[in-house]
């Protein structure tokens, strides 16, 4: 099964990052084995986080989000790297 990359947008409930950061401090990312954290950024208003995650099993992404759904609303987008996107768009004609 190929590894898929996901851009996740975490919307902190009520715009409040504190409960999220407290849980992370106390328990870590809570990602199941087989789900890899790549990198993330947080908007300047501290209302949203943008982690990039990788897995060959999308069910693991759901399992991870289930552990945070009481504090976070999620948007998930499967993404391609730039080279893979160029290959898909242009093929060998690039």
**What pLDDT is recorded for position 90?**
93
**What pLDDT is recorded for position 92?**
75
Strands 72-79 and 48-49: unpaired
> Which residues share a beta bridge with 72?
12
Strands 4-12 and 52-55: antiparallel
- What tens digit of pLDDT does each residue of 3-51 get? 999 999 999 999 999 999 999 999 999 999 999 999 999 999 999 999 9
CATH value at residue 78: 3.30.70.100
DSSP annotation of 54 reads: E
Q: What is the mean pLDDT of the chain?
A: 96
Does residue 94 register a pLDDT over 70? no
Domains: count for the chain: 1
In this prediction the pTM is 0.89
Which of these, 14, 79, 78, 77, lies nearest to 48 by C-alpha position? 14
**What pLDDT is recorded for position 38?**
98
CA 55 to chain centre: 10
Whole domain around residue 64: which residue ranges? 4-90
């Amino acid at each position: 099964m190929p590894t898929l990359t996901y851009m996740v947008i975490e919307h902190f409930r009520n715009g409040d990052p504190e409960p999220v950061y407290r849980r992370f401090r106390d328990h870590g990312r809570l990602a199941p084995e087989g789900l890899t954290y790549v990198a993330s950024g947080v908007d300047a208003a501290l209302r949203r986080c943008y982690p990039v995650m990788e897995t060959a099993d999308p069910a693991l992404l759901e399992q991870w989000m289930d552990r945070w759904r009481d504090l976070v609303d999620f948007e998930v987008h499967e993404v391609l790297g730039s080279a893979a996107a160029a290959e898909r768009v242009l093929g060998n004609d690039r």
